[in-house]
Amino acid sequence: MSVRAFRGATQLQADSFDEMTEAVVELVNEVLTGNSIHDSDLISILFTSTEDLVSGFPATALRTVGFDDVPLMCATEIPVPGAPERIVRVMIHAESNLSRAEVKHVFLRGAEVLRPDGPAASNSGA
């Protein structure tokens, strides 16, 4: 079994902790389900969010539904002019039998624009 990194992103409509919780839980669940990752496979989860999201930490949002024994970390995304607003990105490190080509990265709620080379049509891609 190898360690793999699984990526994803989502865009919030507004800076509210309730919406962040809903969007982050949806995003993480889609990445885990789409890649057949189980809780015991998880190593760590890193979140970044754009500077305009200040209502709460994505890690705190995920902790509201469990994930108590998984190391979680948050950081601020680089403020690039013209970049989409209200974006939460995730990188999940997990043990997996998938090859790199088989990994499904997930982009939801408008964040598909971050990957014009792939997942815009299907919400997944390498």
Residue 116 lies in a domain: no
Q: Tens of pLDDT along 36-89?
A: 999 999 999 999 999 999 999 999 999 999 889 999 999 999 989 988 999 999
Per the structure, the count of domains in the chain is 1
Residue 91 lies in a domain: yes
Residue 27 lies in a domain: yes
Find the CATH number of the domain harbouring 31: 3.30.1330.40
Residue 40 lies in a domain: yes
Residue 47 lies in a domain: yes
Cα-based angle 89, 64, 22 (whole degrees, multiple of 5): 50
Q: Tens of pLDDT along 2-43?
A: 999 999 999 999 999 999 999 999 999 999 999 999 999 999
pTM: 0.87
Do 106 and 34 touch, CB atoms closer than 8 A?
yes
The pLDDT value given to residue 115: 72
**In terms of residue numbers, what domain contains 46?**
2-111
